[in-house]
Structure 1
């Protein structure tokens, strides 16, 4: 079975809206959305140079630099010399950064759980059954 472009577009829009609204509701003013994106990318891709982070977020290199500086001052990331080029540095998550990202995800899950109460039990079951498919789609791009 194939899906048309319009249906795929509507799915993308709905997924983006849901993700943004969960993130806004769960984090309030506790952490910037760009910081969450950087922490998530470092979790997924490992130690990275700022230029790579800027490409993946995506954002400008100055924006990525500012995000890393903010995360570094909060103790959520640290820099070390790049083993490939000692003149450059790469950014790594700290234990506190990993814990912060996990707390953000838990907060988003709590918001989603509250919202799910507006659905019927069968609708909730269907959503839960879709999770492995969404994970596979997310991983297919890596």
Structure 2
């Protein structure tokens, strides 16, 4: 018994096309991150900041589940972000043994600046496409977000 939906995908979309899409998305994201020198955050750190922007505060275990990554990886990302003043840990109000992670004002500013720089670079790349291609790429945003959310 295979993964649900694998049969449909294998008949409709060749595995090589799926792999090409994955590689292309990775290359695009990596090149956009390089174009936004502010902060030089690691990918996991950037995802943690983004998650905290959407839902702060959060426990490290919750962040690890949403990234997804191991709890030690999430802990290391939070520690690096905390060292830079982008997040802060505070006692969890529901469990005195645990802590929650909250995005700081500096973290919000850094995330906004990174997003702006990357958006400017992406806009320049979209401008190099013909209008129909650019609209098609932009129209994919909600679908890619649903895929990213699992």
What is the TM-score with the length of structure 2 in the denominator? 0.75
Pairing partner for 2:36 from 26, 30, 34: 26
* Residue-pair matches, total: 139
RMSD: 2.5
1:11 and 1:72, CA in 2 relative to 1: closer, same or farther beyond 3 A?
same
The alpha-carbon distance between structure 1 residues 130 and 21, as it changes in their structure 2 partners (threshold 3 A), is same
> Is 1:131 aligned to residue 146 of structure 2?
no
In 1, Cα distance between equivalents of 2:148 and 2:63? 18
- Deviation of 1:55 (Å): 4.1
- Where does the alignment leave 5 or more consecutive residues of structure 1 unmatched? none
Distance 1:63 1:136 in 2: 24
The residue number in structure 2 matching 1:111 is 121
Q: Of 107, 116, 121, which aligns to 1:97?
A: 107
- Residues 19 and 47 (structure 1 numbering): CA distance in 2 closer, same or farther, change over 3 Å? same
**5+ residue gaps, structure 2:** 1-7
Alpha-carbon deviation of 1:127?
1.7
Decide which of 6, 12, 17 is 2:22's aligned counterpart.
12
1: CA distance between counterparts of 2:68 and 2:96? 25
Report the Cα offset of residue 20 of structure 1. 1.8
Q: Deviations over 1:5-33 (max 9, x none)?
A: 513332222222211211122136x2322
